[in-house]
Chain A
Amino acid sequence: MILVLGGLWIGQNVNLLPADASANAPVYDELFRVLFSIGTILFIGIVGLVIFSLIRFRRRPSQRGDGLAIEGNLPLEIFWTAVPAIVVLFVGLYSYDIYDRMGGMTPLNHGMDHSAPMHDPSPPDENGERVWGGIGTSSIQAKDGGAIAAVPIEVTAMQFAFLFRYPQGDFISGELHVPAGKPVSLRMEAKDVIHAFWVPEFRLKQDVIPGQPTVLNFTPTRPGTYPIVCAELCGPYHGGMRSSVVVDDPESYEAWFNANNTLEVADA
């Protein structure tokens, strides 16, 4: 009992994670706390049992005989088969729920996503190539009630940098700027080898794969500057392949966007 309460307390109160800065990060942290609590209870329980057994049942110099000849115990075996199975099932369903809330399950309905925002010279729907989903590959309209169009950004990963192209303003930036509170849709392509786009504060990662465009949708919440890290070995300078994402409040994003905009009339 103490173990369970202690585990829950540790799980709720020990924070091992960086700041949360996207809409799905608090959801993720919820899952993390649950897993951490269960893990702590299990780990401390088993370690305690091992240490207790080693001390309590150690062979004392006076003892010559064997231990008890217990070959097994069916009810006990069933118990410790059933309990982990239930826990694992619970964790699985729970993380499925979390995954769903993060928008991971949605592309189940449209694996062929033709409506990916491509404001290239080529018309958007022309390219019928398959978009390989990442987490949050959903349209996020439902989240804020109304249908907010996501800010489309095209990400190009190459050895050893990320480039961000804003099709609405037709300019390229070396730093990702996103407005707080608005959904963002990254369409990512790699030029050479596999990279991975990771923002620890967003709790999001998606591989950027040559030949297979991937999409990553998220809604930043907390203004600030966060690192973007390449998480897939991509060559000698892999460790140096970093960039940053600046979450601006909407006004300063607007200002930044207009300062860089090269199109005369900004898209509505």
Chain B
Amino acid sequence: MTVSLTPQGEQHRPSLQPTGWLRYFSFSVDHKVIGLQYLVCGFLFYLIGGALAGAIRTELVSPMSDFMPRDVYNQVLTLHGTVMIFLWIVPVVNGAFGNYLIPFYVGARDMAFPRLNAVAFWLIPPAGLLLISSYFITGAAQSGWTAYPPLSTTTAASGQVIWILSVLLLGGSSIFGGINFIATVLKLRRPGLKLMQLPMYCWAMLGTSILVVLSTPVLAGTLILLSFDIVAHTGFFNPGLGGNVVVYQHLFWFYSHPAVYIMVLPAFGLVSEILPVHCRKPLFGYATMVYSIMAIVVLGLVVWAHHMFTSGTPPWMRLFFTIATAFIAVPTGIKFFNWLATLWGGRIALNSAVLFSCGFIINFVLGGITGVALAQVPFDVHVHDTYFVVAHFHYIVYGGTVFVIFASIYHWYPKVTGRMLNETLGRLHFLLTFIGFNLCFAPQHWLGLNGMPRRVAEYDPQFAFINQLSSAGALLMAISTLPFLWNVVDSAFRGEIAGDNPWNALTPEWLTSSPPPVENWEGEAPLVHEPYGYGVPIDQIDLAAASGSDLWSSGK
């Protein structure tokens, strides 16, 4: 992967930092370098997390626990969840694209705190290696990524403590990043650029960063208390010493539900950037998009207990969290309808970026529908902690966010490298991923409804066929990575030269060279008041220049 990012066209620039490929391994303070560091590092962890998922699906091909020992299986599922969330999705969708794009969007030459930014990135590789190495040194944590006590306090302590340490480091990295984004969006805007003129991704990152800064410290505190319970035998969560195990769940989900929005809000922002460019239309309903992001931020903080409907929570709490959770569907729905309206009447280029974005819309809508259903207490009581939930959240974080990550890579690759990705391979990648993903996770809804709990290494033999179907889908997903990897590496050297602005986009990152110079622009930063000023007004279609089908398809 690293080779793909080798900068094209070396320029001589006076710098104390290493130039050339070495800077990607250095403590660089250039936001573009840091963004790519996040992306490549995250992708490497994605491959590891994917291998772990492959191990899980291999185990589940047969109803017996026969592929790996049971405790190893629990370690694998814990690592899979932790790696995918904390080392792949959160760093990439926030850190990678946020760092690369936000300074462009606000018209700045770098992030507000470049050194903090570099620190935030460089916390990730050691934390990730620590987490992975715990498997080889002592055996990894085996209580799931949720680490509920008393299971987490009674299983092997060393693996759990290492897990806590690495999640704390990653949480710290996330908080540093969040502070940096808030400061950059609010304080580093180019003079003359108003908040309501910012590209939507800035708003998404602002909302996300608010969530990060408000909720991640709670997770950190919780995990520190948990580590006290493990190491110092305190009794915060130990019922034998007067502690309470459900309190941990409240604290944990106070972070971990917003974490879902930390993973999907930036994806919403990225889609809002990609669709208008390729549909040649303005983003539909800019203001409502902004308000719905903020509504999701506020609501996202008050829905956590819907993860605990079977944990003996009092009825009033169940009722409140049902209503609050279901209402998140409203602002989310607004965003989806706005994207549909953006597609409507456009001139849609059916390239890989658009296909992945539309795949995201379809997957996420299904995930959202099952989400509203899960918010209903009676429904949730049946399917909580089953494969239905597994299917639901994979539709959100994989079908949602990971699809958007791929869409974004296809969209911004020309900017980063100066070369185009191969479209044929891109569409093949989309097709394989979309089919594989749906084959893998759609049948799991049925599994959950019919009695297969999650996190099991063995199951009722009547579920064997559906599980094999799901595993076949997982295999297809693994295969789908190959054309992508080849495409990214090969196109970096042999791809078609893109030019500065291959998509004719209006957002500021395209108004500079590809790849952009250090400090982003030669001369002054452009002032973009209308980042989505595409399209022709309905009464101004140039009759002389327009073809018949142009008129026909615009409804005139």
Contact = CB atoms under 8 A, between A and B. Distances in A.
Interface string B285-321: 1111000000000000000000000111011101100
A31 to B, nearest CB: 6
A64 B534 CA distance: 13
Interface string B325-369: 011011001101110110111111110001000100110011001
A102 B343 contact: no
Interface stretch (A140-148, A230-238, A248-256): A230-238
Interface stretch (A104-112, A117-125, A173-181): A104-112
Contacts, number: 317
B545 interface: yes
A227 B461 CA distance: 13
Contact of B381 (A62, A105, A205): A205
Given A63-B549, A76-B341, A230 B453 contact: yes
Contacts of B369: 38-39, 42-43
Interface in A66-113: 66-73, 76-77, 80-81, 84-85, 88, 91-92, 95-96, 98-99, 102, 104-108, 111
A68 B377 CA distance: 44
B11 interface: no
Interface residues of A, number: 89
Interface string A235-268: 1111110000000000000000000000000000
A205 B538 CA distance: 57
Contact of B453 (A31, A132, A134, A198): A198
B239 interface: yes
A206 B310 contact: yes
A209 to B, nearest CB: 6
B14 interface: no
A31 B343 contact: no
Nearest to A46: B365
Tell me which of A81, A84, A230 has the highest count of chain B C-beta atoms within 10 A of its own C-beta: A84
Contacts of A108: 314-316
A32 B536 contact: no
B538 A68 contact: yes
Contacts of B330: 81, 84-85, 88
B450 A200 contact: yes
Interface residues of B, number: 106
A203 interface: yes
Interface stretch (B148-156, B207-215, B476-484): B148-156
B483 to A, nearest CB: 21
Contact of B281 (A31, A67, A84, A88): A67
A54 B312 contact: no
Given A205-B382, A240-B458, A68 B348 contact: no
B553 A57 contact: yes
Nearest to A226: B451
A210 interface: yes
A72 B327 CA distance: 23
B329 A84 contact: yes
A223 B32 CA distance: 66
A211 B348 contact: no
B74 interface: yes
A135 interface: yes
B471 interface: no
B537 A69 contact: yes
B272 interface: no
Nearest to B339: A50
A161 interface: no
Contacts of B287: 72
Interface stretch (B2-10, B240-248, B507-515): B240-248
B315 A66 contact: no
A229 B71 contact: no
A168 interface: no
A16 interface: yes
A234 B457 CA distance: 12
Contacts of A237: 70
Given A72-B287, A227-B451, A196 B546 contact: no
Contact of B345 (A57, A209, A240): A57
Interface in B502-538: 532-538
B160 to A, nearest CB: 13
B449 A209 contact: no
A83 to B, nearest CB: 8
Nearest to A107: B315
A179 to B, nearest CB: 23
A139 interface: no
A70 B334 contact: no
A194 interface: yes
A18 B65 CA distance: 24
Given A35-B373, A42-B365, A211-B240, A54 B281 contact: no
A106 to B, nearest CB: 8
A55 to B, nearest CB: 9
B281 A69 contact: yes
B446 interface: yes
Contacts of B280: 59, 65-67
B151 A235 contact: yes
Given A65-B536, A196-B385, A227-B451, A77 B349 contact: no
B423 interface: no
Tell me which of B154, B243, B245, B458 has the highest count of chain A C-beta atoms within 10 A of its own C-beta: B245
B154 A192 contact: yes
B325 to A, nearest CB: 9
Given A62-B547, A72-B288, A132 B347 contact: no
A49 B280 CA distance: 18
A183 interface: no
A39 B392 CA distance: 13
Contacts of B457: 238-239
B541 interface: yes
A209 B245 contact: yes
A210 B245 contact: yes
Nearest to B368: A42
Contacts of B547: 62-63
B382 A204 contact: yes
B312 A212 contact: yes
Contact of B334 (A81, A91, A133, A240): A81
A31 B378 CA distance: 8
Given A59-B350, A63-B547, 18 more contacts: A31-B379, A35-B379, A39-B370, A54-B343, A57-B346, A66-B535, A69-B538, A70-B281, A71-B282, A72-B284, A92-B322, A108-B315, A196-B385, A211-B243, A212-B239, A212-B246, A235-B142, A237-B70
Interface of A: 16-18, 27-28, 31-32, 35, 38-39, 42-43, 46-47, 49-50, 53-54, 56-60, 62-73, 76-77, 80-81, 84-85, 88, 91-92, 95-96, 98-99, 102, 104-108, 111, 132-135, 192-194, 196, 198, 200-201, 203-207, 209-212, 214, 227, 229-240
